[in-house]
Chains A and B, each alone.
Chain A
């Protein structure tokens, strides 16, 4: 659904590239995470993919359309949830959605149903200027689903929202994937990416470091050991056991049989640890 080849983009035009030769593909029905620290080039890439910035060099195709000259009809098929809440503050939440629904040439979702889905039904008739940032974020998130998109670009959907809403947003993303929607998720939140994405691309300083599934990355760059906490002789003890070592396997079975095990943790790496290992820096900075 999305194909990017050797994409370059410079804001300054002096040879310094915000995007420096990025290539990747996103399959239909996949949740593809674009992971990287602030300034890595995630938002620039998304802007190019959604036609907000021109393609300067390289090739970009979205739903088979060359993004150098996308037809306006393409925008009936894509939805974009922006990182910064960008709704009309003088209009109510419902008026914002109703207005945007009228812009599409395809059947659209019921604005009120969408507001209900993101927990804004009670604030539907209030002006957006009175909404909290989290509420505005949810409104923009709901707006991106109005045209029931085939390709859904979601930029930092959980930034500034509470844990309950984060959970609800994750659930909606999963539901959309079940519907067959291709999701391009831009985030620097590894937990969101880990929980949702089929594959992630790590972006650092305008270049893709790696592309793989979160599971494979964690296994590849983590340790195949288990951290066991058990109580013996009245004291809490910690042991690191490898399932690949015969003696460790026997010891683990013994502890389990004796009922002494209190906690058991596999020690694969987190996505953030993988990123640090590959990019030499964390996702936060």
Chain B
């Protein structure tokens, strides 16, 4: 049994290399790393820049913005300069009038700013002016339900890493395992396997293990080139391995229902759409979709985030490992059953 299993793995590894799947996976990982390091900004702030024309004698507002937000503040002292600065479509104007204190603030918007942004700017200015006038700004006692999730946010480009690892390690693995399966159906080599003592369990485990090795290589390359070597490797490798095993088996179950890649594409993309929903939730944490946490990609992406950017919630990682193991325990027998049934009844 062990000899058969290692023979199947050896064969799969040779096929993966000779079909250039390994090259593709490493190349995509390097491409992602380049995107993260050099093309995707670290800060994806959507706040507009400000032009401040502070005509109050103290110039307190202009001074405060220049001190606190120097990168996004331009201070002018003439109407012409104020008008010229507002030619930049990504700029909001703040005109302050008054003597010792700012008495009147006029905001000039370009027109496409959202209501939320306008209210935020108004609130900030109101808060600041209240403080300058010597009033006490209102206080808001807050209770944080999930203290870990409020920790320091990673740079935007690095925050993409868990999703990219998920995408490449899991989703690409699904596609490549399906490609191998269809190659075998086309060559009819599965028939030759079926008249040997080898069973579907060994075949499926060897295939998913091979794909998991690919996923580990991909995750390691991407991690080293983006986050660097100092990270939580045991958890990253464990969840990538389990996630890839689970998703490869799921891909084999689905792909086995079709005769070729052309027939499988639509199902693959629909499946991928569903499995990538946790990535959307990852970027919009406020969004909650029913049953989304049952998807194997959900614990995967959050455990990866916790491993890369710890927030003090190690339970996320432990829960992810357990959930992936439980999913694997369901998917593996299902895969064996459908594989046996589909191959014998349909002779493919």
Task: State the A residues within 8 Å of B (CB).
Answer: 47, 50-54, 72-73, 75-76, 78, 80, 82, 84, 86-91, 95, 99-100, 102-105, 140, 143
Contacts and interface: CB of A to CB of B under 8 A. Distances in A.
A103 B196 contact: yes
The 8 closest A-B pairs by CB, nearest first: A102-B7, A86-B188, A103-B196, A90-B18, A80-B195, A75-B197, A72-B197, A103-B198
Contact of A86 (B15, B192, B198): B192
Contacts of A140: 192
Interface in B187-233: 187-189, 191-199
Contacts of A90: 14-15, 18-19
B197 A87 contact: no
A143 B192 CA distance: 9
A140 to B, nearest CB: 8
B11 interface: yes
B10 interface: yes
Given A84-B188, A86-B188, A51 B197 contact: no
Contact of A82 (B11, B192, B196, B344): B192
B319 interface: no
Contact of A87 (B14, B15, B192): B192
Contacts of A89: 187
A147 to B, nearest CB: 8
A189 B173 CA distance: 46
Given A82-B188, A82-B191, A82-B192, A104 B11 contact: no
Contacts of B189: 86-88
Nearest to B5: A102
Interface string B240-274: 00000000000000000000000000000000000
Contacts of B15: 88, 90-91
B113 interface: no
A47 B347 contact: yes
Nearest to B18: A90
Contacts of A52: 191, 194-195, 344, 347
Given A86-B187, A103-B7, A76 B345 contact: no
B197 A103 contact: yes
A183 to B, nearest CB: 15
B10 A54 contact: no
B3 A102 contact: yes
A98 to B, nearest CB: 8
Given A82-B191, A87-B187, A103-B7, A72 B347 contact: no
B63 interface: no
Contact of A88 (B3, B187, B194, B196): B187
21 contacts: A50-B195, A51-B194, A52-B191, A52-B344, A52-B347, A54-B345, A72-B198, A72-B199, A75-B197, A87-B189, A87-B192, A88-B11, A88-B15, A90-B18, A91-B15, A100-B196, A102-B4, A103-B7, A103-B197, A105-B197, A140-B192
A76 B197 contact: yes
A85 B193 CA distance: 13
A50 B198 CA distance: 14
A104 B4 CA distance: 7
B203 to A, nearest CB: 10
Contacts of A87: 187, 189, 192
Nearest to B14: A91
Contacts of A51: 194-195, 344
Contacts of B7: 99, 102-103
Contacts of A105: 197
Nearest to A98: B7
Contacts of A86: 187-189, 191-192
Nearest to B341: A54
Contacts of B3: 102
B125 to A, nearest CB: 67
B196 A75 contact: yes
A91 B14 CA distance: 8
Interface string B156-190: 00000000000000000000000000000001110
A53 B11 CA distance: 26
Interface in B46-85: none
Given A82-B188, A86-B189, A95 B196 contact: no
A90 B19 CA distance: 8
Nearest to B345: A54
A23 B171 CA distance: 50
A256 B189 CA distance: 59
A128 B323 CA distance: 43
B197 A73 contact: yes
B344 A53 contact: yes
A112 to B, nearest CB: 17
A104 B196 contact: yes
A140 B195 CA distance: 13
